Structure 1
Amino acid sequence: MKKTIQILAVVLLSVSSLEAQNNPCACCTEDHAAFDFWLGKWEVTLPNGNIAGENLIEKIQGDCVLRENWKGANGNFTGTSYNFYNTATGLWEQLWLDTAGTILKLTGKRIDNQMILMSDEVVNEDESITVQRITWTLLEDGKVRQVWEVLRDGVAVNVLFDGLYSKLE
């Protein structure tokens, strides 16, 4: 009986392993696709119409990760982010790294036509709480607006970036 259970366990593990290997897209769920509206090659403009730069957002790692490759209009500033849906938390996460040495970690989720990601809270010397929030909004014409704000005690006090994404390809 013990030998039968061992053989059954090995067979089940083998089938499970083969199933995982044969599943061509472990991250092809609705949750994993929530940020797909940002995929593509984009020209990004500022509210005054000036070009801010270009951004390429593509899926990598078996469609489990969105990688952003930013290049500022002057060509001197670049940045990369890795965005993924964390099945353990049910949230999207982003890690942003750039040539200025900035490291930004965000988490959040999609609500209707917006992906809203926020940093952890920082308690300031005056005991106020600061959070960075980036919101990507899918517009009716297929463009995407990205707004990066600083919130102090829940109120937006500064806009660090406001860009309109228009597809190049």
Structure 2
Amino acid sequence: MTPKRVLFLIIYLSLSLSLLAQTSDCKCCSEKHAAFDFWIGSWEVTNKDGSIAGKNTIVKIEGDCVLRENWTSATPGYTGTSLNFYNLKTKQWEQLWIDNSGAHLKLKGNKFGNQMILSSDEFIHTDGKMYINRITWTENSNGTVRQLWEVLSEGKVVNVLFDGLYSPIK
């Protein structure tokens, strides 16, 4: 091959790959869409005291646009699932959790540093006070993930509902 043909071939391939990348139909391939990927995997979850809380599997589905969580508690018979996605319109992550008791929780928020922080809208509890659920997932340097579920009132933590450590199942 002559040097001119090699140069032409290189330019042609570069342009072709560039056009291919521009026409990619991956709608959820941005950095924002990948912000919660640290939670993907199969996990054994322990409580703060080291006791087993359950197992959780998080996978990407729907063309990598959704994280689906499948929770199985160490408490027999309790399961739940969540759908998590980055909403391009609101520019935040959203989660819808539903369990087999019929309970549900809607959260929204974003990643800050190594933490995904999602909160519920404010709600009135049976005591007449306003509360917010806030769940924080922290990506730890050793490959584990901490999940902390706090209840806030007037900006202050009034209860911790869950403090668990996710360890990868090998």
TM-score (norm 2): 0.83
Query: Shift of the alpha carbon at 1:115?
Result: 0.2
- Distance in 1, Cα, partners of 2:159 & 2:70: 25
Residue 6 of structure 1 is matched in structure 2 by none
Structure 1 residue 24 displacement after superposition: 4.6
Task: Tell me how far 1:60 sits from its aligned partner.
Answer: 0.2
The equivalent residue for 1:137 is 138
Aligned ranges 1:4-83 → 2 under 5 Å? 23-83=24-84
Is the contact between residue 107 and residue 118 of structure 1 (CA under 8 Å) also seen in structure 2?
Answer: yes
Q: Distance in 2 between matches of 1:103 and 1:52?
A: 19
Query: 1:153 and 1:24 mapped to 2: Cα distance?
Result: 44
SS at match of 2:53: strand
Q: In structure 1, how many angstroms separate the alpha carbons of the residues matched to 2:123 and 2:48?
A: 29
CA distance in 2, matches of 1:97, 1:43: 20
> 1:5 maps to which residue?
none
Question: Which residue type is aligned with residue 41 of structure 2?
Answer: G
* Identical aligned residues as a percent: 58
Contact 1:121–1:129 (8 Å) recurs in 2? yes
For residues 126-148 of structure 1, the C-alpha deviation after alignment (integer angstroms, 9 at most, x for no partner) is 76421000000011111000011
Q: Specify the code of the residue in structure 1 equivalent to 2:32.
A: D
1:156 pairs with 2:157: yes
Question: What is the aligned partner in structure 2 of residue 146 from structure 1?
Answer: 147
- Which residue in 1 is equivalent to 2:101? 100
Instruction: Work out the CA distance in 1 between the residues paired with 2:91 and 2:107.
Output: 14
AA matched with 2:71: W
Q: Distance in 2 between matches of 1:146 and 1:36?
A: 14
Task: Find the residue that maps to 1:140 and give its secondary structure.
Answer: coil
| Paired residue type of 1:31 | K
* CA deviation map 1:86-128 (0-9, x unaligned): 0000000000000121110000000000000000011457764
- The normalised TM-score by structure 1 is 0.83
Pair 167,121 (structure 1): closer, same or farther in 2 beyond 3 Å: same
The 4+ residue runs of structure 1 with deviation greater than 4 A are 124-127
CA distance in 2, matches of 1:152, 1:46: 24
What is the alpha-carbon root mean square deviation over aligned residues?
A: 1.6
